[in-house]
Structure 1
């Protein structure tokens, strides 16, 4: 099992004796020392727990694992079902309002790819230390038709890895969708507290991630310039991003409801109810699970499956379609490291918009009276109408 730990390493993988598994514990300690966040440590711990249980089932030691065990694990994940979701009635169904599928009961391609990446990193750590297997069981796939990797390698520079991991499944590319204004109004109208209204208004105005918004503190608000200071996920870079005037109005209303001043270094988002966790009745910082509970309640009322990431997509697509903003502006606000990331995700044509335009085309073809006038403009003096009809495809009659 994975257990919380108050030590430097926030999560540990425990064995049957309820003691930390030594190889995993040493790897996670190094993982934390390299500056990774607790959320990453938690995801790595669960992936390694799954691997340890698999090795126990096939009776192979962790330091004797080969690519065959990795392959069999990938095959098992492709057909296995998550225990917590095996009885869910909406597994994989598509919501008719949002057009988004519900989480499936099985392990998706992203979970399998994450598992492979974690195991590859884990074994690279032990191979570098001269322990564990001699060859990383999570190997990279090289195409036989491709040129030899590192064929122009500079001996003064380290080798760089080539090729994707061998057993990584392909991920279908899905275009992000903006939440229609009517749906956003419905979602916002169902919120029951000014705290939730302020938080979601910030998200839909600048596209900040949930973890970035939940990390805000009192001194991260610039009331004069209407900006907030975010610590970016991944890079941990500090960045000021603009926010809508409406969001700051809701923040002011929320803070006035707290009834007590907020310290500059105190978490901005607090629970509305006071709870006793050993230090008396007091408010506590809003957690990600509590934020998900807000969406679960609203989604149950509306029959939808919206999430915080939908607000990020909505803000990004609104900005990308504004002719007053450049793609570089959108990249900076979203916190993307590369401009190509912003372009690949948010400049692609949405299938729903293409379908709407094609449907309008079909309606005009079926109803000539509703279509645009088909009569060509009058030919100018000195131009033969027959020649122009051949050149531009007009009806010469």
Structure 2
């Protein structure tokens, strides 16, 4: 083993040191210390991260993961460029058992944290770190140290987040065919396993309840468009006036991750609700203005002004309807619902579904959305069992003249009489 420190990770408390803050310049988000000074090793890495073409949202997400890592090193008294795999391992152990820090205590959601909603059959978020959060933390820290070790060639000597090669008989890609792509080197050593979950679909009768719980034409237009074109929440919120094709009923989105532009077909109903919503705005929408707007709750002295709708405002829409219905639906459930509907349509190929969803690989679409409805599977199996029982109770068919019944039974796998 690489160390025998034996930390009591359960007793460690992370300090409220530093913060992630928006910044002007090429790097949109920075990690700063208590004095507001950017943490230089993180700043240099994020600058390289931005130059590689990553989005501002990814920069913010990586910043929070690195801020947690820095707080962890401060709590255990280790300098960032002296960290070893022991520190990465203990952070994983700490994240698996600690209660996540919150800015404010839970109120209504305290009774449902970690439980399964009886209507949607989806689990509410709990108070512990999810497996996906731990895996994301490991990936970010590993990429940060890879930058310093491989690209900058200064500072740390070892990457604390290592790959699991204990069961490999040889080094990765030792017999690699130069005509074939390289395989991934292996999984990160302390990554928790992810349970395979099927996408949650909003049934038609539940969809009527959700849509009926919307309080404005804006919310109805947004949900109707989301469930018809299967776009992600961030993609829909980025739509501008010039991105709407009213004649062909198309909406242009900027794909998450790739940044590619794509026109998606939307339903006629969604464009009807969109027209009603735009009429409610009371003034024409500019071609380069965002489509979705909201009003601030507080008057800042110059009256209530329209503000572009952000993700937190969209979450508020679902928070209100979930409180009304006793559910825990999210905007991403609309994407799942639309995708499953398209995948089951015999008039659409799997390739059609892949293009609409913006997946880079067909296998991703097939692995996630080619799923069987459990109720239909049960009905088919029950029908199969009933047919077998019916055939077993049928009298044997008469044997044609010239054939021996016992010989035919043995030949066809039956029992002689």
Task: Give the alignment's TM-score, normalised by structure 2.
Answer: 0.85
1:348 paired residue among 341, 360, 371: 371
Is 1:124 aligned to 2:146, yes or no?
Answer: yes
Tell me the CA shift for residue 143 of structure 1: 4.4
Three-state SS of the structure 1 residue aligned to 2:307 is coil
Deviations 1:258-302 (A, max 9, x none): 110001110010115687668764211110000000000000000
Gaps of 5+ in 2: 1-18
- CA-to-partner distance for each residue in 1:338-358, whole Å, 9 max, x for gaps? 000000111133445545655
For residue 146 of structure 1, report the CA deviation from its aligned partner: 4.5
3-state DSSP of counterpart to 2:34? coil
1:262 aligns with 2:324: no
8 Å contact 1:226–1:245 — kept in the other structure? yes
* 1:223 is aligned to 2:223: no
Return closer, same or farther for 1:33/1:277 CA change in 2, 3 Å cut-off: farther
Relative distance call for 1:175 and 1:66 in structure 2 (3 A) is: same
Aligned to 1:83: 101
User: SS state of the match for residue 205, structure 2?
Assistant: helix
1:95 paired to 2:117: yes
Distance in 1, Cα, partners of 2:361 & 2:248: 26
Which residue, 230, 238, 244 being the options, matches 1:207?
A: 230
What are the superposed Cα offsets for residues 124-178 of structure 1, whole Å, 9 maximum, x if unpaired?
Answer: 1111201221121111112424543121358999987511111111100001132
Match of 1:32 in 2: 50
Which stretch has the larger CA shift, 29-38 or 4-13? 4-13
1:30, distance to aligned residue in structure 2 (A):
1.8
Partners in 1 of 2:257 and 2:353 — Cα distance? 18
Partner of 1:323 in structure 2?
346
Give the match's secondary structure for 1:191: coil
Equivalent position of 2:10 in the other structure: none
Q: Is 1:9 matched with 2:27? A: yes
Q: Determine if contact 1:275/1:282 at 8 Å carries over to the other structure.
A: no
> Judging changes above 3 Å, is the alpha-carbon distance between structure 1 residues 212 and 277 closer, same or farther for their aligned structure 2 residues?
farther
Distance in 2 between residues matched to 1:327 and 1:120, nearest whole Å: 35
Aligned to 1:54: 72
Residues 122 and 200 in structure 2, CA contact (< 8 A), matched pair in contact too: no
Q: How many residue pairs were aligned?
A: 392
Structure 1, unaligned runs of 5 or more: none
TM-score, with length taken from structure 1 = 0.89
Counterpart residue number, 1:108: 130
- Residue 83 of structure 1 deviates from its aligned partner by 2.2
Is residue 323 of structure 2 the alignment partner of residue 305 of structure 1?
A: no
* Distance 1:392-1:306 versus aligned 2 partners, 3 A rule: farther
* Cα deviation digits, residues 218-264 of structure 1 (max 9, x gap): 01111111111111111111111111111111111111111100011
Name the CA shift for 1:393/1:381 in 2 (closer, same or farther; >3 Å). closer
Report the 3-state secondary structure (helix = DSSP H, G, I; strand = E; otherwise coil) of the residue aligned with 2:37. coil
The answer for the alignment partner of 2:4 in structure 1 is none
Quote the RMSD (CA, aligned, Å): 3.3
